[in-house]
A and B are shown apart, each in its own frame.
Chain A
């Protein structure tokens, strides 16, 4: 809680954001996002948190999103944790993640039961074939869009290729690929000061 207050005091337009938002409001807002965010949560999060509720400025939203993307975990749940934390501490985080997860998980529970009993009908097989192929296109488009946005140097494409080779061809565990190529890439992008320490002395 004290963290939240300090940050808000430093914020120049602190009066735009309430000091602490009621847990129930956080829960219901994320419940609505969790129930309506068809096709990807990020635009719905922005519309709700920045435009409708004004809990975050556009800049804060982008900052929290970039933290969410660098950490393990899905953007949707990481954002729920970070926004809940900022608005109301640990309880806020719990309210946020429960709200955003409930509708989708209830829906998929039902879908799973229906699929197990009717998934082998001819029409279902046909539909599932089309849905799976479309999902491949969807993930590929995410890869292309992320690459355009966040791959700055040519060597970054090498790190992408290394990761794919390690997982798909060498069949290394994803964790090992993540740690090995990750350390390599982080070291490549090491801070400039660290890089030039020798030259400066």
Chain B
């Protein structure tokens, strides 16, 4: 229970890094939750993140189990509030002023400037994830297969992630 304030601090900070998507915060999440606080192991984090992609709704609900493991259901609720609260307030504030900013020339500059940075953050998060998730021919083949299929077709990504699970189980034999 003594960990609750740290839990709130860490996830409120991670909240502000999620520019472009939850994956942008992944490298820092790994550092803080695994290396600094030891709330879970590196492979547990990879597993939670990946399974979280199968869940409907916002794709970072994998933070809920971390909160639960550290501080029970209260921990889970606090993590949710810390992770979604700050950005919710910011978005609400910007939403009120956005139409008034239409003639402000820097608005376009900010959007165009942040686009490559948010893509870079996603890619950096992806590399951090890949370091623990892709090893050997089989996992590399699954990752490449999913990438190419998603670029070529309009198939639902959740189906492919499930497909990855099936291949993973079948390859045990």
Contact = CB atoms under 8 A, between A and B. Distances in A.
Contacts of A178: 17, 19, 117, 121
Given A138-B160, A177-B121, A131 B51 contact: yes
B81 to A, nearest CB: 10
Secondary structure call for the B interface? helix
A85 B87 CA distance: 14
Interface in A54-91: 66-78, 81-82, 85-86, 90
Nearest to A7: B99
Contacts of B57: 33-35, 37, 41, 76, 100-101, 103-105
A174 B125 CA distance: 10
B16 A164 contact: no
Given A38-B158, A73-B87, A152-B112, A104 B58 contact: yes
B82 interface: no
Interface residues of A, number: 101
B22 to A, nearest CB: 6
B21 A75 contact: yes
B47 interface: yes
A163 B146 contact: no
Most A C-beta atoms less than 10 A away, residue of B18, B69, B134: B18
B17 A85 contact: no
Interface residues of B, number: 107
Contacts of A174: 17, 24-25, 27-28, 121, 124
Most A C-beta atoms less than 10 A away, residue of B17, B140, B145, B171: B17
Contacts of A14: none
B143 A185 contact: no
B34 interface: no
Interface of A: 3, 7, 33-41, 66-78, 81-82, 85-86, 90, 93, 97, 100-101, 103-105, 107-109, 111-113, 115-116, 119, 122-123, 126-147, 150-152, 156-157, 159-164, 166-168, 173-175, 177-178, 181-182, 184-194
Interface of B: 13, 15-25, 27-28, 44, 46-62, 64-66, 68-69, 73, 76, 80, 84, 86-88, 90-92, 94-96, 98-99, 105-106, 108-130, 132-134, 138-140, 142-147, 150-151, 156-161, 163-172
29 contacts: A7-B99, A35-B56, A41-B59, A69-B118, A72-B90, A100-B57, A105-B57, A108-B62, A109-B64, A111-B51, A127-B165, A127-B168, A128-B51, A131-B47, A132-B47, A132-B133, A132-B164, A134-B160, A134-B163, A135-B49, A136-B130, A136-B143, A141-B150, A143-B119, A150-B115, A160-B119, A174-B25, A174-B121, A178-B117
Which 3 residue pairs of A and B lie closest in terms of their CB atoms, listed nearest first? A112-B65, A130-B168, A163-B120
